[in-house]
Amino acid sequence: MYPASFDYHTPGSVQEAISLLGKLRDDAKLLAGGHSLIPMMKLRLAQPKHLIDLRKVPGLAGIREDGGSIALGAMTTHWQVESSKLLQAKIPVVSDAAGMIGDPQVRNLGTIGGSLAHADPAADMPAVMIALGVEFVIEGARGRRTVKVDDFFKGLMMTAVGPDEILVEIRVPVPPAGSGAAYLKFPHPASRFAVVGVCAALTVDGKGICTKAGVGVTGAGTKAVRAKGVEAGLAGKALDQAAIEAAAAKAADGVDVQADLQGSAEYKSHLLRVHARRAIEAALGRAKGGK
């Protein structure tokens, strides 16, 4: 309830925020929606001496189309992502997943950048980002750089964003025609975070052959990962039930599944496989033009 005391900064630009980060180093934390950071501060699990609030930094929020991608500003709230007409039309799975985060209060304050930079192992968005093959735009004292999603999630709550860097934008490629994606989660009964979550993004050609498959899983392990075995089981195949089941059976491969109050590693691995199958089925339905 009562965080340790801290100083509060409101930079007016990304550069100012970065120079503050450079100066204050480990004593500082960036503040986005505060819906992961502030609960940790209230429990005194995090005790930053300085908070650098990004909410007054212009240009960090918003959704725009940019060539073949949609660019999501890091400070875009879950609700803005959920309700974006552009996303709903072009990459609806991102809006769908945002709508499954927490509750309306959480979605009105929490941000997509905060969620991805925080990299909670049970967060929803990471699975979707992996499935869609996004890129992250990160800015630091040495300028901007772009990181592919496969190089972004490094470990338990660890990402490619350096201590003196800011995640500024997420670039989501707009999938070609014949694509469909679905995110399915098994919510924690208390927190609503994902006990497991699976996102499948598929592209199928005219003959019903899967030409591209992206599958991301979250929740079960210490970080969100790409389900390479599942993807290999889908790409280049005609997706009949047998193929889907065989592919989904690989959903837990390579995931460091953690047992906790929500279930054993065996159960969570099973949930991953079930959710992978259901997500693939839903994604395929959408790819073939169903809704």
Partner 1 sequence: MATATGTRLFGAPEKRREDPRFITGRGQYVDDVKLPGMTHAAFVRSPHAHARLKRVDAAPARAVPGVVAVYTALDLKVGALPCGWMLPNIKVPPRPALASGKVRYVGEPVAVVVGETAYAAKDGAEAVRVEYEALPGVSDPRKAHDKGAPQLFDDIPQNQCFYWTIGDKTATEAAFKSAAKVVAQPLRNQRLIPNAIEPRACVASYAPGTGDLTLWVTSQNPHVHRLLMAAFILGIPETKMRVIAPDVGGGFGSKIFVYNEEVVAAWASKALARPVKWTAERRESFLNDAHGRDHVTEVEMAFDRGGKITGLRVKTHANLGAYLSTFAPLIPSYLYGPLLSGVYRIPAIFCEVWGMLTTTAPVDAYRGAGRPEATYLLERTMDRAADDLGVDPAELRRQNLILPFTSGTPYQTPVAFAYDSGNYEPALNRALELSGYAKARREQEEGRKRGRYIGIGVSTYIEACGPAPSAVAGSLGAGAGLWESGQVRVHPTGAVTVYTGSHSHGQGHETTFAQLVADQLGIPMAQVEIVHGDTAQIPFGMGTYGSRSACVGGSAILMSLDKVKAKGRKIAAHLLEANEQDLVFEGGKWSVKGSPGKAKTWGEVSLMAYLAHNLPQGMEPGLEATSFFDPPNFTFPFGAHVAVVEVDAETGQTKLLKYVAVDDVGRVINPMIVDGMVHGGIAQGVGQALWEHGVYSDDGQLLAATMMDYALPKADQLPSYETERTVTPSPVNPLGIKGAGETGTIAATPTVANAVIDALAPFGIAHIDMPLTPDKIWKAVTAARK
Residue 230 binding result from partner 1, ligand FAD, none, given CB thresholds of 5 to 8 Å by partner type: none
Tell me the closest approach of the beta carbon of residue 105 to partner 1, in angstroms. Answer: 13
Site mask for partner 1 (CB under 8 A), range 16-45, x = bound: -----------------------x---xx-
**Among 48, 39, 128, residue whose Cα is nearest residue 81:** 128
- Which of 167, 201, 276, 283: binder of ligand FAD (CB under 6 A)? 167
Query: What residues contact residue 129 under an 8 Å CB cut-off, 6+ apart?
Result: 116, 149, 152, 170, 172, 216, 224
- Which of 46, 157, 243, 274: binder of partner 1 (CB under 8 A)? 274
Q: Which stretch binds ligand FAD (CB under 6 A): 118-126, 144-152, 226-234, 254-262?
A: 118-126
* Nearer Cβ to partner 1 (3/285): 3
**Among 101, 202, 113, 207, residue whose Cα is nearest residue 152:** 113
Question: What token pair was written down for 224?
Answer: 């969100």
Tell me the closest approach of the beta carbon of residue 4 to partner 1, in angstroms. Answer: 7
* Nearer Cβ to ligand FAD (18/251): 18
183 vs 132: CA distance, rounded Å? 11
Phi and psi at 162, nearest 5°, equal: -75, 165
Asked if 215 contacts 198 with a C-beta cutoff of 8 angstroms, the reply is yes
* Nearer Cβ to partner 1 (67/189): 189
Does residue number 263 form part of the binding site for partner 1 (CB under 8 A)? yes
C-alpha distances out from residue 236 to 56, 226, 243, 255, 284, Å: 47, 18, 11, 24, 14
Tell me the closest approach of the beta carbon of residue 18 to ligand FAD, in angstroms. Answer: 10
Q: What secondary structure does DSSP assign to 100-119, as a single string?
A: TSS-HHHHHH-BHHHHHHHT
Tell me the closest approach of the beta carbon of residue 226 to partner 1, in angstroms. Answer: 23
Pick out residues in 155-214 that bind partner 1 (CB under 8 A).
186, 188-191, 193
Residue 282 binding result from ligand FAD, partner 1, none, given CB thresholds of 5 to 8 Å by partner type: none
**Among 5, 135, 155, residue whose Cα is nearest residue 70:** 135
Residues facing 77 on adjacent strands: 111
Binding residues for ligand FAD, per CB under 6 A? 29-37, 39, 54, 74, 101-102, 106, 110-111, 113-115, 117-118, 120, 123-125, 161, 166-167, 191-193
